[in-house]
Amino acid sequence: MIFAFLLFTALAAAIYYFYLYGTRNENYFAEKGLPYEKPSFLFGNSLRLITKKISVYDFLKDFPKMYPKERIVGYFDFRDPVVVVLDPEILKQLAVKEFDSFSDHKVILTDDADTLFSNSLFALQGQKWRDMRATLSPAFTGSKMRLMSTLIVEICEQMVDYLKEEVKAKGPQTYEAKELFSRLTSDIIGTCAFGIKVDSLKDKENDFFVNAKKMFSFTNVLMQFKFVLFRVCPKLMMALKITLFRADSRTFMKSLVVDTMKVREEKKIVRPDMIHLLMEAQKGNLTHTTNEKDTVNSAGFATVEESEIGKTAAKRVWSEDEIVAQCFLFFLAGFDTSSTVLSFAIYEIMVNTDVQEKLFEEISETNQNLGGKPLKYETLQNLKYLDMVISETLRKWPAAPVVDRVCNRDFTLKYDNKEYTFRKGDVFWIPMVSFHRNPEYYPEPDKFDPERFSDENKSSINPAAYVPFGVGPRNCIGSRFALMELKSILYYLILNFRLEPTSKTQIPLKLAKNMFGLQTENGIHVSFRPR
C-alpha cells in the first residue's frame, strides 16, 4: 500500500513538473508588453513546423503580415522566449551599433554534444570568437580568393566535361539539382580546403563525398529528431551522451585534416588552399593587409565587409581540435549551403528564359574577350548581370532563413516612445526571409527580378533589409568565397548548356513543410542541353 502511494506521488510530481516545463514562460511577453501568438504546450509557437504543416520559409514570410505595424514581436521557440526583429533600423542598431551587447549566437551544442561544431567560428563566444575571427579573416580576403579561383575553375571544367560526355553517350539527362551540386561543391571543398582531388560526378561513392553526405544530411529523419531533442531537452541529451553528428564522420574529418597538415609540414608542401592558410594562422603568420583592389572591387552586391574585429592581430595559440573545427564549418557551409543556393538559382534561371538568355549573352561575350581561356577571378567582377542574378537569388531564397543573437549584458531598446529591456541571456532573431519577402522593401517580393540590383535600381534597396550573409561583425566570413564559387559554376553552366525543365520539374516550385532550412517537396529537376 505504501509502495503504491509513493509510486502515485512520484508519478503525480513528474506529471506536475512536466506540465510546469511545458508551460513555462507562458506570460513572458504579456508582462513585457510585446505582441505575440499564444504558445502551445511544450512546443511554443513551433508546433506547425514540428508537425510539418508549413515550411520554415513560408512561416517566416508571414510575420510581416501577422504584425504589419510592429517593429519587434515576441515568439516562443519551443518554450524559450525570443524577440523577432522586423524593422531594419532596429536590426542595424542591435546587430551593428550595439554589437558589444549582442555579439554571440545562442549555444545549441556544447563540447559534450559535439566538439567539432562547438569549437567552430559560428558557435564560439566572447573573446575566443573575436580571436578566431581575427585569425581566420585574412584567409578570406580577395587576394586569397584570387589564389583559390584557379582551383574552382578546374572543378567547373571537370563538371562541363562530365555533362557533355553524358549527353554524348546517353542523350540529354535529367538531374536533381541538389544532388548534382552537392557532388560538385564537395569536389570544390575537397580541393580548396583539403587539397584533395575528387571527381564525385564520376566516382559517386568516394569516401570524401560519402562522409560529407552522412554528416550533413539534414533531410535525414534521425538527424532531424536528434536536433529537435537538443532544442527541447538539451540536458537530457548531454546526460545520455548523445551527439548530433556521427562518430565515424567526425573521426574521418579529424584524420583528414590532421594527416594532411602533418604531410605538408614534413614535406614542406605549399598549396593555395584553406589547410595551408589555417597552418599559417596556427603559426601566427597570417595577417590582415589592406589591399585597395580588395576594397574597390567587391565580390558583388551581396558581399559583406569585415569589421575592425576581424582586422585586429590575433595572438592566441589554437589547438588541433580548434583548427579541425574550422575545416568542419567550411565543409558544412560549402557542401550544404552552396549547393542549396545553386539549386534555386538554376531553377530561377531555367524557368525565366529571358533571364537565361540575357545571362548567356553577357557570359558568351566575356568568354570571347578571354579568347576562350579559363575564367579569371578579376573577370568575375565585370559580370554585372551575373551578380544581379546571384543577388536576387539570395534575396528570394536566402540559404539561412533566420539567425540569432544573444544578449551579453542588459540593454534597453528605445523606439516609438516605447522601451524594451533585453536581459543578459535573452535572444533575438534576425529573420532574413521576413525582410527579403516584405513588399515594403521589395515590391512584388515573390517575383524573381534581377533588375532590382541593376546600377539604376540598387541604390533604392535598404542595405539593412538585405542580409543574405547576416549583418554586423558576426556576418558570414565566407561571403567572398561563396560568391566566387556560385558565379564560377553558373558561368560555366550557362556558357556551355541551355537549362531546360523536364517532365519531373515542379513549376511553380513548392517547399517541403518542415523546420530544417530550404528544401523542396520533389527536388529541382533540370536537363542540360549543350549549346
Q: Note the Cα 236 to chain centre separation in Å.
A: 28
- Give the chain's length: 531
The pLDDT assigned to 296 comes to: 42
Looking up residue 418, the CATH number of its domain turns out to be 1.10.630.10
Share of the chain above pLDDT 70, in %: 89
Instruction: Please report the sign of the dihedral spanned by the C-alpha atoms of residue 507, residue 512, residue 513, residue 519.
Output: negative
| Cα(85)–Cα(422) distance, integer angstroms | 13
Give the closest residue to 192 by CA, choosing from 118, 260, 242, 137.
Answer: 260
Query: First CA to last CA across the chain, in angstroms?
Result: 84
| Cα(102)–Cα(413) distance, integer angstroms | 12
Cell numbers of 529, please?
542541353
Q: What is the pTM of this model?
A: 0.91
> Looking at the domain assignment, is residue 82 inside a domain?
no
Instruction: Please report the sign of the dihedral spanned by the C-alpha atoms of residue 230, residue 236, residue 237, residue 239.
Output: positive
| Cα(234)–Cα(239) distance, integer angstroms | 9
Indicate the average pLDDT of the chain: 87
> Looking at the domain assignment, is residue 53 inside a domain?
no
The pLDDT assigned to 117 comes to: 79
Q: What is the mean pLDDT of residues 490-510?
A: 96
> Looking at the domain assignment, is residue 517 inside a domain?
yes
Give the closest residue to 85 by CA, choosing from 431, 467, 475, 515.
Answer: 431
> Looking at the domain assignment, is residue 20 inside a domain?
no
Residue with the bigger pLDDT between 284 and 438: it is: 438
- E-strand spans in 2-119? 72-77, 80-85
3-state secondary structure 456-478: CCHHHCCHHHCCCCCCHHHCCCC
Look up residue 139 and give its DSSP letter: G
> Looking at the domain assignment, is residue 63 inside a domain?
no
Q: Note the Cα 8 to chain centre separation in Å.
A: 49
> Looking at the domain assignment, is residue 521 inside a domain?
yes
pLDDT at 501 > cutoff 70: yes
Share of the chain above pLDDT 90, in %: 55
Q: Which domain holds residue 201?
A: 87-530
> Looking at the domain assignment, is residue 31 inside a domain?
no
22 to each of 75, 231, 239, how far by Cα in Å? 15, 13, 20
Cell numbers of 355, please?
533571364
Are 128 and 325 within 8 A, CB to CB?
Answer: no
Q: Which residues pair with 422 in a beta bridge?
A: 411
What is the crossing angle of helices 479-496 and 384-396, to 10°?
110
What is the tens place of the pLDDT at every residue in 399-450? 989 999 999 999 999 999 999 999 999 999 999 999 999 999 999 999 999 9
Cell numbers of 471, please?
549583418
Split into its structural domains, the chain has a count of 1
> Looking at the domain assignment, is residue 519 inside a domain?
yes
What is the tens place of the pLDDT at every residue in 315-339? 777 888 888 888 888 887 777 889 9
The pLDDT assigned to 460 comes to: 94
What is the tens place of the pLDDT at every residue in 76-130? 998 899 999 999 999 999 999 999 999 999 877 666 666 777 888 988 999 999 9
What is the tens place of the pLDDT at every residue in 510-528? 999 887 778 899 999 999 9
> Exposed, middle or buried, 419 (CB in 10 Å: 0-12/13-18/19+)?
exposed
Tell me if 476 is assigned to a ligand binding site.
yes
